[in-house]
Structure 1
Amino acid sequence: MKQWEKTLISPDCTMEEAIATLDRVAVRIVMVVDTQRQLLGTLTDGDVRRALLKQRPLATPVREVMCVSPRTAEKSWGRERILSVMEKYSLLQLPVVDAQGTVIGLQTLHDLLNRPRLNNPVFLMAGGFGTRLRPLTHNCPKPLLKVGDKPILEIILERFISAGFHRFFISTHYMPEMIRAHFGDGSRWGVDIRYVHEEVPLGTGGALGLLPHEEIDSPLFLMNGDLLTTLNFLNLLEFHETHGGAATMCVREYEYTVPYGVVESEGHTIRSMVEKPVHKFFINAGIYLLSPELVKSVQAETRIDMPTLLEQEIAQQRTVNMFPVHEYWLDIGRMEDFQRAQQEFASL
């Protein structure tokens, strides 16, 4: 049983029983649910104290003293968003519910601030020319362009760090000295950063051949250095470890509306007409989790793009999974994307 499940109680429990549960679980909150685990309310030690000050008897059902409209979090929320809500409302705990209001977890400030230290290597691709963002990239590599008051790559780095990762590799090509000067060895963030340099561009997968393969001993994150996303990296890692396979590719749903009425026919006979149909596709989101074996299969100085590398794995009957990204995601490839990032950054 997960620890948070021990905090679930019935609305018919007495305050005395709730106090016993609070003492037993030691997270200073119990979640009041019905038989389907729908969240009805919460009861904290503060709620109990207030009830006792009002001289409510210990036999009082918790339904009479609980908070009936508690703050909650969604499963997709990242650590920063949860911490922000906790700080805003001075909360030490936050129930996690699904779309139907069913309790699926509990986040506590203690656990969030004492995050795990994860040894998975993270490889950030920062060698691109950023041609479509010129003239901004004439004197600055695209990953160092600022969104808000921080470079794009620094935002990515800090999101991984906040999730508990500390082993980083950065691939460089265009203006590498500027990237090295900004990030250094990572000591500014309390992590380790090392670099591989592409003398000639090797594609989105070729730089894997420049890594110290003997040190890649667990699934490796590979991410383009020009993405803004609130993707929960721990959920991605859990998915990859659960489903196995050579790789997991993050994908994003993309909708395309045909701006005309589409006619379907059989010979010269019209069978149907659909006005401005919408087609949905999954597109590559530029974030991957790769098995150590796949990383080590890429030889030094090999030019290859990630889609080609994964297609080779599929052709060899090896499993490549996909992980849909429903969180915020923006590929900053064009000037309009960069301007959009500036407008949306504050809400991240």
Structure 2
Amino acid sequence: MNETDARWRQALLPVDATLAQTIKNLNEVGVKLALCVDSDGRLLGSISDGDLRRGLLRGLSMEDPVREIVNSKPLVVPEGTERQMVRALMQANKVQQVPVVDSSGRVAGLHLWDELDTPPAHDYPMVIMAGGKGTRLRPYTEDCPKPMLPVAGKPMLQHIIERAQSQGFSRFLLSLNYLGHMIRDHFGDGSAIGVKISYVTEDEPLGTAGALSLIDPKPGTPFVVTNGDVLTDIDYRELIEFRDRLDAQAVMAVRRYDWTNPYGVVEMEGVDITGFAEKPVIRSHINAGVYALAPEALDHLTALRHCDMPTLFDRLRAAGCRTVAYPMHEPWFDVGRPHDLERANQELSQKTGPTLG
């Protein structure tokens, strides 16, 4: 645990910390767990990435206190517990972090699965929708496919592939249409960057899900789908694990979007005024363009027929299949317009590490 010593100390949070501070802590410390402690360092509970997402889905704001979501009964081990026992407990409880506490309940360390054993390898494929014409990004896309537009010195598509590669993804399938030959020429079979890349080509645009009907053979495992213009720090593996835990056919990453009405709103029942709301904030969740699907989800597509991803989710629900939302808090750019491209360039150019936020 010596390697983890500095990091677990950074993962300690006071009980009055906000969700925003907790998210910042999770992103910066990198142990995927924050530990809520009292003024004497006694463990009050833990906060995982999943706890945060469930809180955001409940409608909590970034300013709400972390005590609203803290897990007050986390799995812990006492000081001196043997490594083999800790590993067995983590395996049995399907957790990747276990706090160590002393006889007074104070945090004394943190066991990480990554340091107890090599994380299990995976062979999940990733499908990247890279066929869009990028009409809103003209003139940049007149002679360049949108996913190949440079951001911080490299194509957007390369950012996506490298991010996934760092998480163990090695098989990619790219769906091409507009100027697709430029993408093929740049990446080839992927061997130059240590991955395997194959392609399908849409003769006509088939939508964000329709291109999946071209995959042959059908994947034998769950897989990730992402739009080729979405840059994010999301953990793509967690999307698949989230799908597995909830036994869902499809997962859609969603992001909270707040819109402030610029006007004072009059509340009425019929013609009677019942109240007023001055510039109310409307909160909703938007589709973030990243998904995890079970192979069987492809059975609800018709070959060569246009289908957008929300339509596929509707079909799955109509067939009695479970579809779930994955609330995300990670940095996220949907590079669809010139000012989005400019912002992505500014943000990523300032980074010295592998993450966006």
- Pick from 131, 136, 140 the counterpart of residue 136 of structure 1: 140
Contact 1:126–1:172 (Cα < 8 Å) also in 2:
yes
Query: Is residue 118–residue 166 contact of structure 1 (8 Å, CA) maintained in 2?
Result: no
Q: In the alignment, does 2:162 pair up with 1:226?
A: no
Looking at structure 1, the residues matched to 33 and 293 of structure 2 have their Cα atoms a distance apart, in angstroms, of: 31
Q: Does 1:184 align with 2:188?
A: yes
What displacement does 1:270 show?
1.5
Q: Contact 1:245 / 1:319 at 8 angstroms: preserved in 2?
A: yes
Aligned to 1:100: 36
Deviation string 1:166-212 (CA, Å, 9 cap, x unpaired) is 11100000111100011110111211100000011111111111111
Between the aligned partners of 1:209 and 1:163, the Cα distance in structure 2 is 26
Match of 1:337 in 2: 340
Change (3 A) 1:131 1:270: same
Q: Which amino acid aligns with 2:312?
A: L
TM-score, structure 1 length as denominator? Answer: 0.71
Aligned residue in 2 for 1:161: 165
The question of whether the paired residues in 1 share the 8 Å contact of 2:300 and 2:315 is answered with no
Aligned to 1:52: none
Structure 1 equivalent of residue 291 of structure 2: 288
Which residue in the other structure is 1:49 paired with?
none
Unaligned runs of 5+ residues in structure 2 are 15-21, 38-44, 49-96, 98-109
Match of 1:304 among 287, 304, 307: 307
**Match of residue 82 from structure 2:** none
CA distance in 2, matches of 1:274, 1:112: 54
Give the match for residue 64 of structure 1: none
Q: Mark the CA change 1:226 to 1:113 in structure 2 (over 3 Å): closer, same or farther.
A: farther
SS at match of 2:36: coil
1-structure distance, mates of 2:194, 2:116: 18
1 CA distance for matches of 2:297 and 2:5?
45
CA–CA separation in structure 1 for the residues paired with 2:334 and 2:172: 21
The 3-state SS of whatever aligns with 1:213 is: coil
Q: Which amino acid aligns with 1:237?
A: I
How far apart in 2 are the matches of 1:76 and 1:318? 33
Partner SS for 2:254: strand
1:119 and 2:123 correspond:
yes
SS at match of 1:217: coil
Change (3 A) 1:32 1:300: closer
Distance, in Å, in 2 between the alignment partners of 1:218 and 1:153 is 23
Provide the C-alpha distance between the structure 1 equivalents of 2:4 and 2:312, rounded to a whole number of angstroms.
50
The reply on whether 1:217 has 2:220 as its aligned counterpart is yes
RMSD (Å), alpha carbons: 3.0
Q: What's the % identity of the aligned pairs? A: 42
Q: Normalization by structure 2: what TM-score?
A: 0.70
Q: Is the 1:31–1:39 contact (alpha carbons within 8 Å) kept by the matching residues of 2?
A: no
- Note closer, same or farther for the CA distance 1:124–1:278 as it changes in structure 2 (3 Å cut): same
Judging changes above 3 Å, is the alpha-carbon distance between structure 1 residues 114 and 137 closer, same or farther for their aligned structure 2 residues? farther
Q: Structure 1 regions of 5+ residues with no counterpart?
A: 1-6, 8-21, 41-71, 83-93
Could you tell me whether the CA contact under 8 Å between 1:127 and 1:173 is conserved in 2?
Answer: yes
Deviations 1:33-71 (A, max 9, x none): 9xxx9689xxxxxxxxxxxxxxxxxxxxxxxxxxxxxxx
TM-aligned CA deviation for residue 108 of structure 1: 7.1
> Cα distance, 1:235 vs. partner?
2.1
Contact 1:74–1:98 (8 Å) recurs in 2: no
Counterpart of 1:175 (choices 179, 183, 189) is 179
How many matched pairs? 275
In structure 2, the residue corresponding to 1:256 is in which secondary structure? strand
